[in-house]
Amino acid sequence: MNTEKRTAIYSTLREGMPAPTTELNYKNPFELLIAVILSAQATDISVNKATDRLYPVACTPEAILALGVDGLKPYIRTIGLFNSKAENIIKTCRILIEKHHSEVPRSRDELEALPGVGRKTANVILNTAFGEPTIAVDTHIFRVANRTGLAKGKTPLEVEKRLTKLTPDEFKLDAHHWLILHGRYVCKARTPLCGECPIIEWCEYKKKASA
């Protein structure tokens, strides 16, 4: 796929979603961090239900740390892997208080040093909370990038690097959200809605399907 086609894809996605953002509910970088940690192998809807219960009670590192692991679990019990996530969140809150003055750090290395935070989570925080042109590759983006031909790769990291290299600069800030929302609602894993796809004209998956 050449630059012209990539530009056409992103331009079309931008027309349909001029101001894309995460579907996770949050009011500040800390709330987003906790929500993204909870979102691993969970839907945004289930995370929002949990944080809607949690944040009115505890929405700062100090308040969540005060709950402790056992106090936090009832709020997130409906989310997969809630036991390990509760432990990671409590550890993260302690580190934020002790090392970062209760603020979410803005560097990748410091973010990835937090328990429960990997490269994908760090990219989400850097992009959505701090406006950095990072692209977090989840299962949706991995699928869309490979299926359309935007950036093919065998691993999420390989796809991320290719997307970062090949995405024109004007689209990098919002590319993450355009691709994840397109994958979530249109370019679905089992039954892609090709008949409703606004970028089907440039999609390599269409060519394979019709061959």
Q: Give how far Cα 141 sits from Cα of 32, 151, 186, Å.
A: 20, 10, 12
In a domain, 171, yes or no: yes
Domain that holds residue 35: 29-129
Look-up of token digits 């086609």? 5
Query: Of the listed 120, 165, 188, 208, which one is catalytic?
Result: 120
Q: Are residues 44 and 125 in the same domain?
A: yes
- Which member of 5, 27, 85, 138 is catalytic? 138
102 three-state secondary structure: coil
Are 122 and 193 members of one domain? no
Q: What is the CATH number of the domain that holds 146?
A: 1.10.1670.10
Q: Kindly report, residue by residue over 93-136, the tens digit of the pLDDT.
A: 999 999 999 999 999 999 999 999 999 999 999 999 999 999 99
Whether residue 158 is contained in a domain is answered as yes
Radius of gyration of the chain (CA): 18
Catalytic: 27?
no
Report the candidate in 60, 71, 73, 63 with the shortest Cα–Cα distance to residue 29.
60
The pLDDT of 181-190, averaged and rounded, is 94
Active site residue 152: no
Total domains in the chain come to 2
Model-level pTM?
0.90
